[in-house]
Amino acid sequence: MTQRVVLLHGLWMPGLAMHWLAGRLQHAGHSTEIFSYASVGEGPDQAVPRLIDTIGDRETHVVAHSLGGLIALQALCDAPDLPVRRVVCLGAPLTGSGAAAGMLRWPVSTMLLGRSGDLLRSGLPCWQGRAEVGVVAGRVPHGLGAFFGHFAGDHDGTVAVEETRLEGVTDHVVVDASHSGLLFSAQAADQSVAFLRSGRFGL
């Protein structure tokens, strides 16, 4: 049976950024839809209700990159009865982004983060929803995040691995990819397919 998967992109990205990953999920037998939103101008206040409407009453999985993971989980917090079974978050700063917090100290950077700044900075306190959530983090440090935030451990150039470790998630895995590279990583795609299939990542 074909399973529906809704994909969400991250900050400053168009929906097209999820095209390669959508293709990998289709090859694995899923029916994919890309949810696009204006990450700076629209932000979570508008994106979350639209995502709730998009999911509707159809059983759905979600695969989301970076900010998209925060928006997906916020939608499930706001509408806990949504029929979402599993969520894969790729490089999502679920406990809050140190790089975003650093950017927000500069007035001009506030415009770059727009309406998504607060959610990126604060993250979520924990996960208590009924959906199974798996997190794929990257550890190839290629990105501009180090200019704005200090990374004490492994990171993907934008998000620290520790920032992806949200209490209450079902599973967590670290792969060799940068933040943007997670969208084109065969390893990340295979792990996403494994989690959507079984609720666990492959070893």
Helix (H) or strand (E) holding 52: helix 43-55
Closest by CA to 125, choosing from 53, 73, 88, is 73
pLDDT given at position 148? 56
Distance of CA 15 to the CA centre of its chain: 13
Q: What is the pLDDT of residues 45-96, one digit of tens each?
A: 999 999 999 999 999 999 999 999 999 999 999 999 999 999 999 999 999 9
Is residue 5 within 8 Å of 196, Cβ to Cβ? yes
pTM of the model: 0.92
Grouping H, G, I as helix, E, B as strand and the rest as coil, residue 191 is helix
Q: What residues in the chain have per-residue pLDDT under 70?
A: 1, 100-115, 142-151, 203
